[in-house]
């Protein structure tokens, strides 16, 4: 369910952009309707123009290299050609202990749906047994905390410089599911706002550190005056 304090904040544009591109309430199993939805076709064209075009994608590759040079840490590209975002992560730390590898990955995402981005730390563990690798996410970091802090702030500042007018989407919003939402780029039924705006590279089934409301102030309504009321409005079903 999508919800927020509509007296103080305005996240409706996110909801409207999702409705524009995704056939809300139509299941993928209903092939003739879901895959022929005009918005979905328009989104495919956007993805092709931004990711599959070498000159356009090169702009993101240059940005990755700039981040890597400034932070002096490895940046690994994770952009997936079917998902509606540019994405990468900074390898903050990596420790190998016998057959166990522990990493701190600071992921950053820039949406193609609209002027939205986000940053999230994901601690990972990988265990190698014989010739098989078993990986798992341990926890997420939602705001500048501990060893993620400086790089987290740096990424936000530089993304906003590179992509003017883009705003940070906080976990409180992107972690929510919208009834009837489904994405095309994955066979699973993914209904979180994060999946619609970015991709499926964050594991939500782990504990979180940090503030779920980081950078909420970017979404305060112009001219808002705090009267003490806290109304929450849900979209129509």
- Phi, psi (rounded to 5 degrees) for 179: -60, 130
When computed from its CA atoms, the radius of gyration of the chain, rounded to whole angstroms, is: 19
Say what the pLDDT of residue 232 is.
55
- H helix intervals, the chain: 12-21, 31-34, 38-47, 54-71, 149-162, 171-174, 193-197
- Which residues does residue 110 pair with via DSSP β-bridges, in sequence order? 86, 117
pLDDT, tens only, 17-62: 999 999 999 988 877 889 999 999 999 999 999 999 999 999 999 9
pLDDT, tens only, 106-155: 999 999 999 999 999 999 999 999 888 899 999 999 999 999 999 999 99
Alpha-carbon gap, residue 11 to 111, rounded angstroms: 15
Alpha-carbon gap, residue 200 to 191, rounded angstroms: 10
Alpha-carbon gap, residue 105 to 148, rounded angstroms: 9
């Amino acid at each position: 369910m999508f919800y927020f304090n509509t007296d103080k904040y305005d996240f409706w544009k996110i909801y409207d952009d999702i409705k524009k591109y995704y056939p809300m309430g139509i299941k993928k199993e209903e092939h003739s309707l879901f895959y022929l939805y005009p918005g979905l076709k328009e989104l495919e064209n956007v993805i092709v123009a931004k990711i599959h075009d070498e000159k356009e994608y090169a702009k993101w590759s240059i940005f990755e290299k700039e981040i890597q040079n400034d932070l002096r840490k490895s940046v690994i590209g994770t952009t997936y050609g079917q998902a509606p975002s540019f994405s990468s992560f900074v390898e903050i730390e990596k420790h190998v202990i016998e057959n166990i590898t522990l990493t701190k990955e600071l992921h950053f995402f820039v949406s193609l749906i609209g002027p939205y981005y986000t940053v999230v730390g994901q601690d990972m563990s990988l265990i190698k047994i014989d010739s098989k690798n078993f990986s798992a996410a341990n926890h997420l970091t939602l705001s500048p905390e501990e060893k993620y802090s400086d790089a987290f702030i740096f990424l936000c500042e530089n993304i906003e410089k590179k992509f003017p007018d883009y705003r940070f989407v906080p976990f409180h919003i992107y972690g929510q599911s919208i009834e009837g939402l489904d994405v095309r780029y994955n066979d699973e039924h993914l209904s979180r706002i994060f999946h619609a705006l970015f991709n499926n590279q964050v594991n939500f089934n782990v504990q979180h550190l940090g503030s779920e409301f980081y950078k909420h102030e970017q979404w305060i309504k112009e001219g808002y005056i705090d009267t003490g009321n806290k109304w929450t409005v849900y979209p129509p079903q």
